[in-house]
Structure formats: structure tokens, C-alpha cells
């Protein structure tokens, strides 16, 4: 069931600000530091990220739209959830590799195939050369088994990330439909905004052929906003 603005909690503070704390940085609302849903301290690894989270709270109106506060939600997951499920998250990264968007090529028309190759092959090549994640492209939507060594390499890359970067990377997997794009963002190879546009090659092709309705535009803009938030998150991690 969809929520309306009236379902959101009322804003109860005047100003949010980044503050230093033992072990990192946090956000205070009128001087009172934020807690996560599990009542842990919202301890962030950098001042830059804390300032970005504070800005997210300052941008709220008379009510607080928690669903749209992507940085705060990522921080809550990174602190409350990720430390407990790192192995499961690494497994999920490998599963995304098994059905990675960048490995599913069109059979036709040739113009679309060429466009996919131009945008997707460089990312596949980079992942193979730099991360040992060499995935096999196929034509059509039916996935082909990927090399076990590549899937294990993806797991290891995920496990080597800290909790905050791993949280962002898994968020990127879902946003892009691609582990390779998410890893390219996490490793600084692509901006999240560019990765999002790369993930839309097929979608943009269809729009060029048939047009786009208003609802689809709104969905795309919401996802683009998530990509901008992910970019802010990754930059905040350094």
C-alpha cells in the first residue's frame, strides 16, 4: 500500500549538523545525535559523508520522507545489518554476476547490438582484467553458467570491502541490475550517474523507437536520484 505525505512523521528539529565523535563522524538534530533503528550510534567514516547525511535531513519539509532519504537508509543498513550478513551479501554479489545485465546481448537489430557492445564491453573487460571477474556474454535473456572462478572472485572482492562500501555496492547491484557496474562504481572506475546511464542502453533504445510515457519518466527520475545518492555515498567514503 502506498503512503501519503500525511503518513510521514512530522519534522521535529530545526537544524541537522555533522559532528565529530569517537571513531568517526555523526549527525545531530538540534544538538542531539541520531541513532539507527537498532539504537546504535550513527557513526560515519568521514566528515564529508556526515555532512551529506545532515544535508539530507535539512532538505526535509514539514514532514520527514524517510523512504527518499537514501543516504540515511544506507547508513542504517551499513551499521545495523551489514556486519551480521557479510557472507550473505557476498553471495548475493555473485548471484548478480550470474545474471548480469551486461552479459545479456540483443540478437538484433544490429544498431542496438553495436550500442550494447560500445557501452558494455569495456566494463566487462575491466572487470576481467582488474578483478578477475571474467563473465561470458550471451544472446537473449536466458542466463548461461558463469565460470566458478569468476563468481568466487566477485565474492572475495565483496568481502574485502568495508561495511559501508559493501552496502553501497549491493545497493548499486539492484539499481543497475549489474554487479559489474556496481563494482565499477565501488572501485572508482565509473561514477554512479554514468553507470546508471550505461544500465539504460536497452531502455533508451526502446524509448527512441516507441516513446516514453509520463509514469515511466517518473520512475526513471526516481532511479536517477538514487544513482546520485549512491555517487554521494561513494565519494563520501573516499
CATH of the domain at 129: 1.10.3580.10
pLDDT digits (tens, 9 = 90+) for 143-164: 889 999 999 999 999 999 999 9
The answer to whether position 6 is within a domain reads: no
Q: Is residue 219 one of the residues assigned to a domain? A: yes
- In the predicted model, what is the mean pLDDT of residues 60-83? 96
Last-in-domain residue among 82, 101, 134 = 82
For 117-145, write each residue's pLDDT tens digit: 999 999 999 999 999 999 999 998 888 89
Instruction: Write the pLDDT tens digit of every residue in 178-234.
Output: 999 999 999 999 999 999 999 999 999 999 999 989 999 999 999 999 999 999 999
- Report whether pLDDT(3) > 50: no
pLDDT at 142: 86
Residue 75 · residue 36 · CB < 8 Å = yes
CA dist list (Å): 176 to 7, 12, 105, 130, 138: 30, 35, 16, 20, 18
Cell of 11: 519534522
Q: Does any domain span residue 3?
A: no
Residue reference for cell 546520485 = 228
What nine digits make up the cell of 14? Answer: 530545526
The pLDDT, as a whole number, for residue 6 is: 57
pLDDT at 5 over 70: no
Are 124 and 217 within one domain? yes
Domain total in the chain: 2
Cα separation of 70 and 17, whole Å? Answer: 17
- Start-to-end CA distance of the chain, whole Å, equals 38
Clarify whether residues 124 and 165 are in a common domain: yes
Residues 6+ apart with CB under 8 A from 200: 220
Q: Residues 36, 103: one domain?
A: no
Of 25, 58, 82, at which residue does a domain stop? Answer: 82
- Domain holding 123, by residue range, is 85-237
What is residue 21's three-state secondary structure?
A: strand
Determine the 3-state secondary structure of 23 from DSSP: coil
User: Which domain-ending residue is among 30, 63, 82?
Assistant: 82
Whether residue 114 is found in the same domain as residue 186? yes
Rounded to a whole number of angstroms, the CA Rg of the chain reads 19
Amino acid at each position: 500500500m502506498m503512503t501519503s505525505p500525511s503518513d510521514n512523521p512530522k519534522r521535529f528539529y530545526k537544524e541537522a549538523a555533522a559532528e565529530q565523535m569517537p571513531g568517526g563522524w555523526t549527525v545531530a538534530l538540534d544538538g542531539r545525535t541520531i541513532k539507527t533503528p537498532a539504537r546504535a550510534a550513527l557513526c560515519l567514516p568521514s566528515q564529508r559523508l556526515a555532512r551529506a547525511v545532515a544535508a539530507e535531513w535539512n532538505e526535509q519539509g514539514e514532514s520527514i520522507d524517510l523512504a527518499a532519504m537514501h543516504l540515511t537508509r544506507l547508513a542504517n543498513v551499513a551499521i545495523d545489518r551489514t556486519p551480521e550478513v557479510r557472507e550473505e551479501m557476498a553471495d548475493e554479489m555473485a548471484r548478480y554476476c550470474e545474471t548480469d545485465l551486461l552479459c545479456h546481448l540483443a540478437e538484433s537489430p544490429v544498431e542496438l547490438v553495436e550500442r550494447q557492445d560500445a557501452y558494455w564491453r569495456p566494463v566487462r573487460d575491466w572487470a576481467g582484467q582488474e578483478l578477475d571477474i571474467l563473465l561470458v556474454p550471451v544472446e537473449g535473456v536466458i542466463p548461461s553458467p558463469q565460470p566458478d572462478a569468476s563468481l568466487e572472485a566477485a565474492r572475495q572482492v565483496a568481502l574485502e570491502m568495508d561495511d559501508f562500501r559493501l552496502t553501497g555496492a549491493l545497493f548499486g547491484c539492484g539499481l543497475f541490475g549489474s554487479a559489474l557496474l556496481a563494482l565499477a562504481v565501488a572501485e572508482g572506475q565509473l561514477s554512479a550517474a554514468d553507470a546508471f546511464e550505461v544500465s539504460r542502453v536497452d531502455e533508451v533504445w526502446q524509448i527512441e523507437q516507441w516513446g516514453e510515457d509520463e509514469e515511466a519518466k517518473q520512475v526513471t527520475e526516481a532511479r536517477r536520484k538514487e544513482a546520485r545518492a549512491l555517487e554521494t555515498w561513494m565519494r563520501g567514503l573516499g
